[in-house]
Structure 1
Amino acid sequence: MSLLPYDVQLKRVSGQEDILLPQKMSAAASGFDLHAAVSEPIVLNPGERQLIPTGFALSMPPELEAQIRPRSGLAYKHGITTLNSPGTIDADYRGEVKVLLINHGQEPFTIQRNERIAQMVFQLVPQIQLTEVDELTETVRGAGGFGHTVDNWLLS
């Protein structure tokens, strides 16, 4: 099955020409690694959050969104993750891509220039039409939520 690629354009932010552009680290990877475009090392203390620039902006077709997700290695080894995960980049945004990182670890973590800090995954955005109605269709689950299906499983 052959799928045509979507054209996503990247533009470097002025002064960030040495920052690596997003890249897949293996042929089957779904995410493109993003690199820190910090001018000097930034220390992220436990519980602290920082908005980290990546040195590029992008333009993508309206049927796509880009999601910013944590890197599993940083999360596992250091407790570093993205605070709004996944972060969403809408197709009409043209500013520099930035990553909101937080340190959930117990030690300070230093972010170096060009360090891989997150990954970007592209997703299709379906066209949705919302319709207001007086009644919704019924299901077995109904309005049960927040553990409802687990509670019903335990009772059966």
Structure 2
Amino acid sequence: MVVPAKGKALVPTDISIALPEGTYGRVAPRSGLAMNHFLDCGAGVIDADYRGPVGVLLFNFGDEPYQVKEGERIAQLILERIYTPDVVETEFLGSTDRGNKGYGSTGQL
């Protein structure tokens, strides 16, 4: 499969997995592909109840197409614990020092 220059491709792995309850898998890029070929992964979350084959969404930020070779290690899977509390609707959230400031506001002096 080819990931076009400045493009993306969903690369099938033909691998199916069963993750432990209370975890999810995060598909992460490999540093060598990022450094040497400008390849990155995106949208890589695998839920514990998913049982299909895993695909890897590769983005090619380079100027040349990238040929993915069979058996090549294009990503890595990181297992993380997940906490899924019950969602409770409320009218009042309480106040904090930060308030509603976001998008870079916490990096200010």
When normalised by structure 2's length, the TM-score is: 0.93
Question: 1:137: how far off?
Answer: 1.8
Q: Distance in 2 between matches of 1:123 and 1:83?
A: 17
Q: Does the 8 A contact of 2:2 with 2:9 survive in 1?
A: no
Correspondence for 1:78 among 31, 37, 44? 37
Q: Show the counterpart of 1:58.
A: 17
Question: 1:115: how far off?
Answer: 0.5
Question: 1:59: how far off?
Answer: 1.1
Q: Show the counterpart of 2:7.
A: 48
Gaps of 5+ in 1: 1-41
Which amino acid in structure 1 is aligned with residue 66 of structure 2? F
**What secondary structure does 1:82 align onto?**
strand
2:89 is aligned with 1:135:
no
2:37 is aligned with 1:88:
no
**What secondary structure does 2:91 align onto?**
coil
Question: 1:43: how far off?
Answer: 2.3
Q: Does the 8 A contact of 2:4 with 2:65 survive in 1?
A: yes
RMSD: 1.1
Kindly name which structure, 1 or 2, has the bigger radius of gyration based on alpha carbons: 1
Correspondence for 1:149 among 89, 106, 109? 106
Q: Show the counterpart of 1:36.
A: none
Question: 1:114: how far off?
Answer: 0.4
Q: Distance in 1 between matches of 2:60 and 2:19?
A: 30
**What secondary structure does 2:58 align onto?**
strand
Whose RCO is larger (CA < 8 A, sep 6+)? 2
Gaps of 5+ in 2: none
When normalised by structure 1's length, the TM-score is: 0.66
Identity %: 38
Question: 1:83: how far off?
Answer: 2.5
**What secondary structure does 2:11 align onto?**
strand
Question: 1:119: how far off?
Answer: 0.5
Q: Distance in 1 between matches of 2:33 and 2:103?
A: 29
2:74 is aligned with 1:113:
no
